[in-house]
Amino acid sequence: MRGNRRNIRIRTVIFFLGALVLIGGILTKNNLSLSMLTAGEPKTSTHDSLASSQAKTTAVSKSLDGYKIVIDAGHGGNDPGAGGVSGKEEKEYTLALSREVYELLKLEPMFEPYMTRDDDSFVELDDRAKFANEREADAFISIHGNTYTDSSISGTETYYFSDNSRLLASTIHQELVEATGFNDRGVKHEAWRVLTQSEKPAILMEVGFLTNKEEEKKMLDPAARSRVAHAIVDGLKQYFTQTGDH
């Protein structure tokens, strides 16, 4: 009987030890998955704090240097863009207008402008958006001239992709249409690559049709081009005054 009791005790001890090992194992497993969870959490919170520190940096940079505006002159280098009626290429028009917008923005303390290209160089589409993202630009403005096989087609159109770009598009478009006096072809939603890759409000404007004789003439006229440049700057001023610091 004693022997049996001892055996029972030993078995009970072994059972409890086994149970302890099992519980220990479960706990360790839970700890592991907990630590895996917490290993994931700092990433999120780091991201959050990065985002908030970015917001702080942006707020600080706004008060010091103004809103960062990236002006993107469409095409360039071996990509001429549309061919105008006169034989002029779109890339020349976009660069001339972009330079003018850039110079005007530089005069405004509320803006800190950048250009994705300021000469006849080729810049990949993705690099244009990346340029703006890396600088944490507050707005990305891509400037183009339109083209169509039917030379009678004319007018101004402005594109946006993300919802946070819609207001910027409509504000600048209104100014643009007033300045050009061209047909209002409206604000349109389109997944242009430079727009889909941009993190901040981004728009693409087709000022007018270079394939339309009358429009091309007006677009290439320095005085008319200057009015368009002022319109873009006015639109930006209006937009950032409306939206404030956010």
Question: Where along the sequence are the contacts to Zn ion (CB under 5 A)?
Answer: 74, 81, 144
Tell me whether residue 206 is one of the annotated catalytic residues: yes
Task: Give the nearest distance from C-beta 165 to Zn ion in angstroms.
Answer: 18
Task: Give the nearest distance from C-beta 147 to Zn ion in angstroms.
Answer: 7
Single out the catalytic residue among 206, 214, 215, 216: 206
- What is the C-alpha separation between 150 and 211, in angstroms, rounded? 8
Task: Give the nearest distance from C-beta 75 to Zn ion in angstroms.
Answer: 6
Task: Give catalytic residues, as residue numbers.
Answer: 206
